[in-house]
Amino acid sequence: MKLWGGRFTKPTNQLVDEYTASISFDKKLATYDIEGSLAHVAMLKACKIIPAADADKIAEGLQIVLKKIEAGEAELSEEHEDIHMNVEKLLIEEVGAVGGKLHTGRSRNDQVALDMRLYLRDAIGTVIQQLIDVEKALISQAKANLDTVMPGYTHLQRAQPVLFAHHMMAYVFMFQRDMERLTDSLKRVNKSPLGAGALAGTTFPIDRQFVADKLGFDGICENSLDAVSDRDFVVEFLSNASLIAMHLSRLCEELVQWSSAEFNFIELDDSFTTGSSMMPQKKNPDVAELVRGKTGRVYGHLMGMLTTLKGLPLAYNKDMQEDKEGMFDTFETLKGALALFAPMIETMQVKQENMYQAVTNDFSNATDLADYLVGKGMPFRESHAVVGQVVLACINNGKYLLDLTLDEFQSYSALIEGDIFDVLKPETVVNARDVAGGTARKSVEVQIEQALAVMEEL
């Protein structure tokens, strides 16, 4: 007999049971569901809505059910549709009819919203911790590479040299914003919907604040219809997760490129790469590729959830059961990626010599020659054209700027003097950009301090 079977004259078609059940995936919510029920029953007792002895019996029974579920000893069935009704059924089996008092003043609609919020609160905490680990790994690479000059790119063409440390710190600040967004979202996630009932509230003299306090919420949802209808906090998480996945994916793409023979800028540790079943020489950056690839499913879940919610009338609709799998999968996907990322970055070998070769054999100091002429009074537009001609001549003669003699330089502009050879060195070029946020060593050192200060605040 179904918990709601009273008004039915026929058993549910088995296909309907199978189709509508969510137990196969929402069993992940079991601990949160029971945590919520324990708070609810404590409140029913405190408010004298049910006798104290009954409440105690229910609380004891819930603890037993929890242990059984955790030990894999409880039978969770599709017949009882979801985790909420399965727990209630198990409770009644454990303590008898008195277990039926648990659901007083509550609906599965506020209950499921509660479980989602409890789950997400923990998930967000985990992701924040993992992002801190990734940032620490990036910062340790930055600190070890404060003198490592590499080509900086725009359009994937060598543009101006930068410090590898600067490049690492760019990602640190992206992940810091991701953490900030997640932390901010907790304001909205961490509110208790319990007490909203099915949609309109309840006739029982419940104490919503009591339950909220017990569960560590910052407050209660202000409107019962809103409390059971919206999943904007899930969308927000999926959106924040999408940004994290996007940032990870861009870094992955760079790791893949840098590992290629064409770049040869880094080598990922053997323990974070894989081989080929056919080609004995291969060492593939599979982890980075897969993290990049899994970005697709995270974006997909965001679009899926937005689409599910679009056009739903208030209040609860069964469509909303579709909120779970995407959220679980998004969290698991991020968790898996972030767990691998910190050690993969930490153990990556940076090929400083190769990066240096790359900035030496290119024209990424051309802007500095133009700026030098500006320093001598030439308008920038003019110096840009002059240097363009120098570069063109060099290309035609198989030379780089630093291969030219002073005479050759002076044939383009008499303003050029002997100090140009120092000005155009990669280290000088980098350290000349000592503007706040720039790539000079001292600017990057400030960035590292700024990032560490934010992390200490957390």
Can you give the binding site for ligand ARG, defined by CB under 6 A? 22, 26, 82, 84, 108-109, 112, 316, 318, 320-321
- Is 276 one of the annotated active-site residues of the chain? yes
Q: Which position among 140, 155, 185, 224 bears the catalytic label? A: 155
Closest to ligand ARG by CB, 53 vs 314, is 314
Residue number, 7 or 318, with CB nearest to ligand ARG: 318
Closest distance to ligand ARG from the beta carbon of 26 (Å): 6
Tell me if 312 sits within 8 A of 362, measured CB to CB.
no
CB 213 within 8 A of CB 40: no
Q: C-beta of 121: minimal distance to ligand ARG in Å?
A: 18
Which C-beta is closer to ligand ARG: that of 89 or that of 108? 108
The DSSP 8-state label assigned to residue 7 in this structure reads: G
Q: Please give the structure tokens belonging to residue 441.
A: 């060593």
What number of helices (H) and strands (E) belong to the chain?
Answer: 19, 6
By beta-carbon proximity to ligand ARG, the closer residue of 221 and 291 is 221
Helices assigned H by DSSP within 71-107: 83-95
Residue 57 CB burial class (10 angstroms; 0-12, 13-18, ≥19): buried
Calculate the CA dihedral of residues 136, 254, 367, 445 and round it to 10 degrees.
0
Q: Of residues 24, 260, 276, 411, which has the active-site annotation?
A: 276
Q: Which residues, 6+ apart, have CB-to-CB distance to 46 below 8 Å?
A: 207, 210
We find the least distance from the C-beta atom of residue 112 to ligand ARG, in angstroms, to be: 4
Nearer to ligand ARG, 112 or 327 (CB): 112
Instruction: Quote the least distance from Cβ 320 to ligand ARG, whole Å.
Output: 5
When the beta carbons of 240 and 321 are compared against ligand ARG, the nearer one is: 321
162 backbone φψ class: left, alpha, beta (φ>0; ψ -120 to 50): beta
247 in active site: no
N- to C-terminal Cα distance for the chain? 51
CA quadruple 82, 84, 89, 94: dihedral sign: positive
Q: Shortest Cβ distance from residue 83 to ligand ARG (Å)?
A: 8
Q: Which residues, 6+ apart, have CB-to-CB distance to 337 below 8 Å?
A: 245, 248, 291, 294
CB of 109 to ligand ARG, least distance (A): 5
Catalytic positions, please?
Answer: 155, 276
